[in-house]
A and B are shown apart, each in its own frame.
Chain A
Amino acid sequence: GESVGLHLPTLSVQEGDNSIINCAYSNSASDYFIWYKQESGKGPQFIIDIRSNMDKRQGQRVTVLLNKTVKHLSLQIAATQPGDSAVYFCAENIQGAQKLVFGQGTRLTINP
């Protein structure tokens, strides 16, 4: 069925290193993808998005890559900081359905 999944449920990185969080999706009709950050007890916070007609988009310290051939999405965080510790969700917007389907989430922890 339709699903958005993540390769790794947890990721631990050293402070200052780059983090890469991966996501696989299965619906080829999805036209829009978003990464959200969720801290404990809070709602998801928008990080960056990308449309299906692009393969890369950069923000401040974050980059999203989209590979439609293998239905893969990744979030790269440069120079990871303690404040980046959170659960990161990818979400896909299913064209026509106008709703988001969320992945399982990856917990990112930062080692000092």
Chain B
Amino acid sequence: GAVVSQHPSWVICKSGTSVKIECRSLDFQATTMFWYRQFPKQSLMLMATSNEGSKATYEQGVEKDKFLINHASLTLSTLTVTSAHPEDSSFYICSARDGGRSTDTQYFGPGTRLTVL
């Protein structure tokens, strides 16, 4: 149980284009989902927290107009990187908290490798 998937697993795009990444909880309802970014040989940095049906809460320094987050259902959250640039190239990882359990455990997806040319 507690499986989180991401799609795509990797994507290469041209500078200036937008890329959408999906995060799904497969066997549980995720009331809260999180988006992280991880640069090579570094730790995970939280970008934003999204609760189903409400606006995402962004961490300091993360541009909400550049990283659009939508959490329209209890099993799906999307991250759209708008007007991507090479410095946006990174490993994007989502996680989800099981709304049916009284726990703070976050279950992580496999990540999406974004490369912007």
**Which residues of A come within 8 Å of B, CB atoms?**
32, 34, 36, 41-46, 49, 89, 93, 98-105
B46 interface contact, C-beta 8 A: yes
Query: Among B32, B104, B109, which residue has its beta carbon within 8 angstroms of that of A32?
Result: B104
Q: Are B43 and A89 in contact (CB under 8 A)?
A: yes
Complex Cα distance, B45 from A49, in Å, reads: 20
Is B117 engaged at the interface, CB distance under 8 Å to the other chain?
A: no
Nearest B residue to A4 via CB reads: B43
Nearest-CB distance from B25 to chain A (Å)?
Answer: 13
Whole-angstrom distance between the Cβ of A75 and the nearest chain B Cβ: 16
B108 nearest CB neighbor, chain A only: A43
Q: Within residues 70 to 117 of chain B, which ones have a CB less than 8 A from any CB in chain A?
A: 91, 93, 95, 104-111, 113
The verdict on A43 contacting B111 (CB below 8 Å), with A93-B104, A100-B106 known, is: yes
